Structure 1
Amino acid sequence: MALLLFSLRHVPDDEADDIRDLLAENTIDFYETNAGNWGISMPAIWLRDAQQHEQARLLIDDYQEQRRIFMQTEYDRLKQSGEAPTFFKNLWHYPAQTILFIAAIVLVLYLSPKSCKHYT
């Protein structure tokens, strides 16, 4: 019976490729499912042999810890050099999108107390 190993929903392509390569290099038998045409299915990596689960999980956990350290270091470098994304940089580079998001937030906040009055 197949065993879910790694969900691919919201996983960057480079990370998914690294996980596939890691499993292939360590001869772990797996297959992959995609999200389907409408994106409602489960994109994931599944193990064919449940006995390989512990080994695969250890490999992925180690990889993700190394990736976390690398990404944190990279973010710290961007922050020190002033290249890290901030609210004002987003406003400058994507003014329409940022203003639209702010308007949506304000609309939700405005409508939320009004809809609660029906329940009191």
Structure 2
Amino acid sequence: MPHHLMNLRHVPDDEADEIRALFDEHGVRYYETPPSRWGISMGGFWVHDDDEAARARSLLDEYQRQRRDRQREDFEARQARGEVGFWHSFRRKPVTILAACVAILVILALTLAPFVGLG
């Protein structure tokens, strides 16, 4: 019976490539189904054998632990340099941020307007 190892929906290309290389390096006999264009099927990495599934799962768990640590370190480094957060986004795209804020205020005003006159 096939074992689903990992969903490929919203997985970045670099992560999927690293997982393929990991499985190839360790001789994991896997197959891959791509996610559908419209998001109906999830796609993913699969194996047929129970033993192969356990081995692949342990490799995948260790890889994801290492990737999480790398991504966390990268985020913390970018945060220390001031490259993440609201103000960084605002400095990069002030018109977009202001337009979004104005749209939020307009929607809020239109939503709450009927209730303001009741008090």
Equivalent-residue separation in structure 2 for 1:110 and 1:97 (angstroms): 21
Residue 118 of structure 1 is matched in structure 2 by none
The one-letter amino acid of 1:89's match is H
Aligned residues: 113
Give distance in 2, aligned partners of 1:109 and 1:59.
Answer: 52
Please say which structure displays the higher CA radius of gyration.
2
Identity of aligned residues (%): 36
Q: What RMSD over aligned residues (CA atoms) do the two structures have, in Å?
A: 2.5
Structure 1 residue ranges without an equivalent (≥5): 115-120
Residue matched to 1:74 = 74
Alignment partners' CA distance in 2, 1:49 and 1:108: 54
1:39-78 matched pairs, under 5 angstroms: 39-78=39-78
**Letter matched to residue 44 of structure 1:** G
For 1:89-110, what per-residue CA distance to the aligned partner results, in whole angstroms no more than 9, with x for missing partners?
A: 2122223433454355553696
Q: TM-score, normalised on structure 2?
A: 0.77
Moved segments of 4+, more than 6 Å: none
* Equivalent residue number for residue 89 of structure 2: 90
Deviates more, 1:3-12 or 1:34-43: 34-43
Deviations for 1:60-119, whole angstroms, at most 9, x for unmatched residues?
A: 11111111111111222222222x21112212222343345435555369648x8xxxxx
Partner Cα distance (1:92, 1:76) in 2 = 19
CA change 1:74–1:54 in 2 (3 A) is same
Give the residue type in structure 1 aligned to 2:68: R
Cα distance in structure 1, aligned partners of 2:109 and 2:85: 23
